[in-house]
Amino acid sequence: MSTVIATGLFFVMGCGEEAPTSPHIVMIVLDTVRADGVGARLNEHPVTPTFDRLAAEGTHFERAYAVAPWTLPSHATLFTGLAPSQHEAVHENFRLGPQYLTIAEFLKTRDYVTHAVSSNPWVAASRGLGQGFDAFEMSFKGVESMPDKGAERATDLAIAFLDRIDPAARPFYLFVNYLEAHLPYSPPDEGLEALGIDPASLERRVFSIAEAETIMTGSREATEEELELARKLYLAEIAYQDRQLERLVDALRDRGLLDQTLLVLTADHGEELGRAGMMGHEFTLSDDVLSVPLVFRYPPRVPGGQKIALPVSHLDVVPTILHAIDEHESAADLEGQSLLETALLSRDRALLAEYSQPVTLREEYWANRYPDFDTKKWAVALRALRKGERKVVENSRGEVTLIDPGRPRDASRDDDAGREIIARSMQEELAMWVDRLQSGKRPSENAN
């Protein structure tokens, strides 16, 4: 299926003042950072003071959700505005096809200079994500000799890009991926010290991928002390990353560019930290991996100091960018909606998430590393529909789970019967939505 962003113009002011028609755009993905990983405190120290300040200066969407629980499909959605079942950059198809127009490609048609810096091997031109970028730099090469996972070098590369261009001559689009919060958790001293932790006081300061995987296989049960260490190191990774974010933001501010820039801050997905024996971010559509931070900062159009508690999706990021550059109608064929129009958001808006069956991951990676572990329980595709506080999750075996935080513990059989009706209704809506996406119909043709 070939998908393009339609062209058109639509001008709506978010703050009542004239804005540049071509703002600079900086999208920063804080890879693997849960929504509760920002704005948190540890030992009375803020984990993300830079992110928190930017959130206060812009609009912070407190209930933002990824459409997938891992890197490639989430980035493909952030780049195209398409759901995973549309762009198909998912498990067993590890590449975004050239037929899908990215926001970088669209911006090139509007005379933008485009540049990407990535710390994640999955976020690479070889995965089809370089479409539309003048250059795509990888910061993780040689990471074995670095004190971090590439964040410092990513920031250096991004700042070097700012030094090379003439922003007065042409607008720019800069994409940066930071990977520090990803397993293994092994924060530099700076991240620990930012949270009041003396690195020398820790008996160990690494939580490895192997440790996380042995917990997931059930070969041993994690102790609370072990999980507490993992959470502490995870937050210290985020704290260190936030200092690198500060360097980049300061570079924009020092060059007089920050307030001329639409700044988009989000994560591609979150992270499991021991709930129900799960670690990492595969094999699940739990809110631990779907709930992500999302902030837009652009003083001419985005209100400052605003917190929005209504549900929004990564599908909304591309439409919002298009709206900010006066190309609102260019998103007409996309599922998402501009988040500059917060009055149109609904508490009961339906949001989609998808996870295709991870055959290669399960049958090659896990089977080779843990031959005695039966991975059949993960041999399913997952999809979910969220409406309000409820979420229905269906797997490819036809098993359906309704997650309803509002269900009272002493619910009666009548209550349970009512929830079964709700689950069936949401399941039907989910099926209709996915079928429509895969058929290529426009949102206006949605029977719902």
- Structure-token pair, residue 363: 């049958």
Whole-angstrom distance, CA of residue 277 vs CA of residue 274? 5
Residues of the chain with CATH 3.40.720.10: 24-345
Long-range contacts of 198-206 (CB under 8 A, 24+ apart): 204/229, 205/233, 206/233
3-state secondary structure 196-238: CCCHHHCCCCCECHHHHHHHHHCCCCCCHHHHHHHHHHHHHHH
Distance CA 433, CA 437 (A): 6
Instruction: Identify the pLDDT of residue 436.
Output: 85
What's residue 143's pLDDT?
Answer: 61
Using alpha carbons, select from 331, 353, 349, 352 the residue that is nearest to residue 281: 353
What pLDDT score does 336 carry?
95
| Residues 6 or more apart in contact with residue 70 via CB below 8 angstroms | 268, 269, 281, 282, 355
What CA–CA distance (Å, rounded) separates 188 from 293? 23
What pTM, to 2 d.p., does this model score? Answer: 0.91
What does residue 65 show for φ and ψ, rounded to 5 degrees?
A: -135, 140
- CB 382, CB 395: distance < 8 Å: yes
Nearest-CA neighbor of 18 among 263, 298, 323, 300?
A: 300
Residues with Cβ within 8 Å of 175's Cβ and at least 6 positions away in sequence, in order, are 26, 27, 28, 29, 104, 115, 116, 117, 118, 133
- At 221 the pLDDT is 87
| pLDDT at residue 416, as a whole number | 64
The class (CATH top level) of 24-345 is alpha beta
Asked if residue 184 has a cis previous peptide bond (ω within 30° of 0), the answer is yes
Taking the chain (448 residues) in consecutive chunks of 10 residues, what is each chunk's mean pLDDT? Answer: 33 40 94 97 96 98 98 98 96 97 97 98 97 96 78 97 97 98 97 97 94 92 93 98 98 98 98 94 96 98 95 98 92 92 90 96 94 93 94 94 76 65 88 82 39
Q: Max CA-CA distance within the chain?
A: 67
The whole-angstrom separation of Cα 67 and Cα 78 is 10
Token duo for residue 291: 């709930």
Is the separation of the CB atoms in 376 and 359 below 8 Å? no
Residue 355: which H helix or E strand, with range?
strand 350-355
User: What's residue 424's pLDDT?
Assistant: 87
Residue 181 sits at the vertex; the CA angle it makes with 190 and 316, to the nearest 5 degrees, is 125
